[in-house]
Chain A
């Protein structure tokens, strides 16, 4: 083990990375060159959770298929995969929220069947949800005992127990603090304590680092190490590869609903892991010849959107107050009004597909919302076919020829309990064949729905069934058909093939390609890097609300894109061929913007935009 500084120190330095740069993380190197704590836990330890052959079907969709997962005692086991790969369904099964259709669950070698989370808790399984489930106006003590008053009462005994757990695992929780006053990291620790208080021996952490800043991530990892030192098992769900490599003892990758393999961090690089996650044997979505013209369709300039203040869930973000707060928060990381989109500038031409790569949550949703008119731009302009549409409402933009394949088709693209033909009207109610003036034209819409079902191969017994009864792929084909039927000039395609079977995927790619040939401008957002590279004419990388890098899809590899997605590389990404070196290069590039020897050309920022 060459120069293993022990995981704790290595991850400390990593936590510091993003703040003070040059001491860049050793983490990636550590992870690839030396087993962190895996060595310590390698002596035969028994299996605490074993999932075998788990299959879960929802009507029309298989969410999990033949999943195998085995977590040893006293280890951190990471479960990685893209969003929608089936991680959360699997964890819901383990936590008793869903019943598997097939397969077995064994806890400590004993076969179990959970009817509810209560059963799982009784078996020592605890879950820390991504969204905390705490009552703001109660104290930590009250939150912890809530629902398990029988364990240690609600008074001194409970307080003593909380103290004990807190000290034992170094959680540093104050029982009498009001949850309202706690920061995100503290709340997370309260959640962990809550689970431990109920006697959990197996902890499920769902994307625990999504809400934390690097130093807090560090502290969390310290806590996790304390936990496993005490013999507890932790299942750690994430899609951040760097973190996973630094904290996990074992990593299981899940893709398209099934487990594709388990690895030990010592024996795998982040590149290999990314390959396992994204999968490289998918049908490639190559576009044949370029159809890009020099006619700009969509011009976005300096588009900036502030996060809606405080706890509000977006949409209500008022244009008036946000900029004032934002100007103060410009550089302060913890400021209230974060810029979810920061000075975004790009142009998409007719016949051009512009792909946006990025880890989810870096501003893609906000970009789509701003373009379709669900969110108002706080500054900057959007021009469509030469007209300024920045202040246009959604309907006007749609009527003018902006098509939208939404990221979450259930929330934004369909009326699930309405028949297919009414779904065909959705979004185009003012246009033919759906309406004639003021009046709806149900017959026209129904006829056209039949045409869409036929042309886009939507598998359905008829157009009167509800959208909910179709499978995800067929729902998506209906949406694609609907949007394409109105001859859009600009199409926003957010994860157009997510949760879609391979056949439908190819069909959707074909549609996009064909429309592109006819002069459509497309903004493509996808988590599938192969899809991005294969379909796009130009590629941009979004990181923390900014377009930080661009690349030529013909020359770039998924790995290179991946490093830019973590904020490590910026500017124009150029492929450099030097055999084995490329792997090392990627590793280095991941280390942070200040990494001295990053091969990616640090082009001036304005070029990146």
Chain B
């Protein structure tokens, strides 16, 4: 049995490695085409990663990405494409900020309470798409894209000064949250502070693995993703499954904005980061919806994000930091292609090997019989 396990690890690693190599090579081509040194940007970025403060930035960013990617991955595991993580986490962060600015409980209660608010808001927003899909057959892709746009408008409205907003200079905020809701960070001295919420992200990853691989519910969810027809025949209620998965996905998405909100910003403002949900899709893809894979993918993308700005100020030759964006895009394409290729290749290979082993066993049997017959 051991060799099949080794095989599975090999296959799991082959996809991302091929994709990353391809993306690096292609990015180098882009650099050559624009008349730049194709190697130096990478070395510059690696140098950056050597600095402790950049490392803290990368880890903080990775934690945020990790939660967003987990939210996407929950959907992916049953073939649901929740593009709405973006709208879900922004709306959830805003609601949490508003609640956090008005409610004051002791810290031990305040933080769980705020997390609950975030989860419920995200789940509610994703649940709209889920209900639409289950009752009216609306594609969750379309519904969640629309809900993203609606979330943007809704946030715009709710943060008006007449509603819940508070102007602060040029910025429009929701007011500073009560301090009991600030999530304590890990002080790294000069390098800065790692968001305490990163620990929650890690726990969420463990929980994700546990639920998917060790519970009946997780099995049903994976079965639905692997074959909807087989799952239905085995007794999974497809509609309920779709709705549940959407709610969980939205709930996790709701948490994605919290590391920044509770650890740093302490208010929802116009400068609150956007687009995490879309990066989350990239990361979930690259990480193959696997909690460990997603962690690596999140770190990689966070590295590209946080190490690239320095390219603009490099001497003697400056590079465009957008190289990192190009690379991210290329990674997505390469990942999709290489995963499918590796999957098909792996399946064929296994079928051949099983066939060969059985044939060998049969031949053995036969020769033994012949011996016995003599």
Contact = CB atoms under 8 A, between A and B. Distances in A.
Given A426-B223, A429-B219, A412 B237 contact: no
A416 B214 CA distance: 20
A469 B213 CA distance: 22
A372 B236 CA distance: 12
A199 to B, nearest CB: 35
B169 interface: no
Contacts of A459: 358, 361
Interface string A315-345: 1100000000000000000000000000000
Contacts of A59: 348, 351-352, 354-355
Contact of B235 (A418, A427, A470): A427
Given A404-B233, A411-B229, A412-B233, A462 B4 contact: yes
Contact of A469 (B215, B220, B222, B354): B354
A430 interface: yes
Contacts, number: 117
A373 B235 CA distance: 8
Given A60-B351, A395-B235, A440 B229 contact: no
Interface in B347-371: 347-348, 350-355, 357-358, 361
Interface in A367-422: 372-374, 393-399, 404, 406, 411-418, 422
Contacts of A428: 234
A460 B354 contact: yes
Given A415-B223, A462-B1, A374 B233 contact: yes
A373 to B, nearest CB: 8
B1 A464 contact: yes
B349 to A, nearest CB: 9
A2 interface: no
Sort chain A's interface into a size bin: 35 or more
A115 B359 CA distance: 30
Contacts of B358: 459-461
Contacts of A463: 1
Interface in A404-456: 404, 406, 411-418, 422, 425-430, 435, 438-440, 442
B5 interface: yes
B216 A435 contact: yes
A316 B348 CA distance: 35
Interface in B178-226: 213-220, 222-223, 226
Nearest to B354: A469
Given A59-B351, A60-B354, A464 B230 contact: no
B4 A442 contact: no
Interface of A: 59-60, 315-316, 372-374, 393-399, 404, 406, 411-418, 422, 425-430, 435, 438-440, 442, 459-466, 468-470
Interface of B: 1, 4-5, 137, 213-220, 222-223, 226-227, 229-237, 347-348, 350-355, 357-358, 361
8 contacts: A396-B235, A413-B233, A416-B227, A438-B215, A438-B216, A440-B218, A442-B213, A469-B350
The 4 closest A-B pairs by CB, nearest first: A395-B235, A59-B351, A427-B234, A412-B233
